[in-house]
Amino acid sequence: IPVDPFDLVIFGGTGDLARRKILPGLFRRYCSGQMPTGSRVIGAARSEITVEEYRETVREAIHEFSKAKCDEAALEEFLALLGYVAVDARGESGWGELKEALRDDDDIVRAFYFSVGPSLFGDLAEQLRTHGLTNPEVRIVVEKPFGHDLESARALNAELARHFQETQIYRIDHYLGKETVQNLMAVRFGNMLFEPLWNAQYVDHIQITVAETVGVGGRGSYYDKSGAMRDMVQNHLMQLLCLIAMEPPARFEPDAVRDEKLKVIRALDPVDPESIVRGQYTSDGELNSYREDVENPASKTESFVAMKCYISNWRWANTPFYLRTGKRLSAQASEIAVVFKDAPHSIFGMDAGRHRNMLSIRLQPNEGMTLGVTIKEPGPGGMRLVDVPLDMSFADALGPDAEDAPDAYERLIMDVIRGNQTLFMRGDEVEAAWAWTDPLIEGWERRGDHPKPYDAGSTGPDDAAFLINKDGRRWRGIK
């Protein structure tokens, strides 16, 4: 959907997220003709640099991180749309210049991207109001972490609400911008095939795995205060869980979708913190251990979580949802697997073995879906059954269209400009997610639990396998 020229200000415009994701993403949209030439993108940060210097840093970032086939002429045009203003988030300097840099037109979309730590959200929101930088088309974009517990998330929501309406606030969870995550909704609600079976009567259990090979990189000081529960489960895994478990919304519209997601979070049973497997990676001889990475030899923070939870509602009563995520695992693999129950009666007798249908939705890499179906084993050996995959890789099925699909940030930024909040979290959703995770975190903090060590490059602590094996089930995916 084409958009009109817009003004976008990126606070934290020289930061990591802006360099890696936001600006390369905008450039790709520019190259595909979705970002109109009349638009302005203004980097704002503390450093006193010139526009030319800023453009140079953006040029380097695009060379390093952009997936767009970098056409130098297009890059020059794009750089020409960039401005830069040095502002002091908590002081007076720069706000007048920033106002000057924006177009004085009530009809032009004016988006402010807060690509900064949450401690500055309230200050920035207030500065925008007091310096008269908003217009009727204003919207603000905030990044995770949105607080570190329920209390801080409530305080942030309240601070933002003092200056902006909920319809003007776009809370990003970039997992919602991923192509396959949206496909989850297309698969569920665009087909007749799956939805009738999508409930406790037919589904044995659901697994959600987000496994990463990377460690905590240079983000040790942030990560060590968060851990996998706050960094991944409270947001990304929770959003995946919501989309897989929610009731069909009446329309694909912001509040219709978000109301249904919220009901899922609110229906989640509390989990006994002791039942949750927490792990921390150790060195494999080559790569650092977690404690070396975060430079905290006594750290008790988890880089891995595996847990089982239940959604107490009519659709999912007694159906286990197994969630697992971790860093420095053996493979990068994010997958949702819906494992169906056994057929109620086997006409082939015991020899046929036990077979189950399974729908696996691969988020990354090799985005696609596999439906496991049971067929006869070829050959003369009688009616022996075997499971085979009906496999679809989006890249093979959709060809170049799949490759050109915008990445998560590109899509979400353009949704901000279009004013579409469907793929953004509402304040009450974020609070409900913290209300569920807080007691778990408090539980293990109170007891002073140490996470279980696991080797870098492994599948996580043995207890994670035990968590599911003791129920007669197995993790899928990473080996």
CB of 409 to ligand BG6, least distance (A): 9
| Interhelix angle 51-65/23-31, nearest 10 degrees | 80
Strands 333-340 and 452-455 turn out to be unpaired
- What is the Cα–Cα distance from 79 to 100, expressed in whole angstroms? 19
| Nearest CB to ligand BG6, comparing residues 217 and 349 | 217
CB of 16 to ligand BG6, least distance (A): 11
Q: Which residues pair with 205 in a beta bridge?
A: 339
- Nearest Cα neighbor of 239 from 409, 114, 364, 426 is 426
224 binding ligand BG6? (CB under 6 A) = no
Residues in the chain: 479
CB of 293 to ligand BG6, least distance (A): 12
- What is the Cα–Cα distance from 278 to 306, expressed in whole angstroms? 7
143 binding ligand BG6? (CB under 6 A) = no
- What is the Cα–Cα distance from 6 to 111, expressed in whole angstroms? 8
CB of 323 to ligand BG6, least distance (A): 15
CB of 423 to ligand BG6, least distance (A): 14
| Nearest CB to ligand BG6, comparing residues 174 and 258 | 174
| Nearest CB to ligand BG6, comparing residues 178 and 308 | 178
Count residues contacting ligand BG6 (CB under 6 A)?
3
Specify whether the CB–CB gap between 85 and 42 falls below 8 A. yes
SS3 letters across 285-308: CCCCCHHHHCCCCCCCCCCEEEEE
The one-character DSSP state at 425 is: B
In Å, how far are 118, 145, 275, 418 from 177, measured between CA atoms?
A: 21, 17, 31, 14
Collapse the DSSP code of 401 into the 3-class scheme (helix H, G, I; strand E, B; otherwise coil) and give the result: helix
Q: Give me the active site residues, please.
A: 236
Q: How far does the chain reach from its first CA to its final CA, in angstroms?
A: 41
Specify whether the CB–CB gap between 205 and 319 falls below 8 A. yes
| Nearest CB to ligand BG6, comparing residues 231 and 410 | 231
DSSP string, 224-239: HHHHHIIIIIIIIIHH
- What is the Cα–Cα distance from 199 to 238, expressed in whole angstroms? 18
CB under 8 A, 24+ apart: contacts of 71-74: 71/31, 74/27, 74/30, 74/31
In Å, how far are 269, 277, 448 from 308, measured between CA atoms?
A: 10, 10, 21
CB of 230 to ligand BG6, least distance (A): 9
CB of 64 to ligand BG6, least distance (A): 17
| Nearest CB to ligand BG6, comparing residues 231 and 302 | 231
212 binding ligand BG6? (CB under 6 A) = yes
Return the residue matching tokens 């980097």.
43
CB of 325 to ligand BG6, least distance (A): 9
| Nearest CB to ligand BG6, comparing residues 137 and 231 | 231
Burial class (CB in 10 A: 0-12, 13-18, 19+), 228: buried
| Nearest CB to ligand BG6, comparing residues 325 and 357 | 325
Which of 204, 224, 231, 302 touches ligand BG6 (CB under 6 A)? 231
| Nearest CB to ligand BG6, comparing residues 212 and 429 | 212
Task: State the residue number with the nearest CB to ligand BG6.
Answer: 231
455 binding ligand BG6? (CB under 6 A) = no
Instruction: Give residues in contact with ligand BG6 (CB under 6 A).
Output: 144, 212, 231
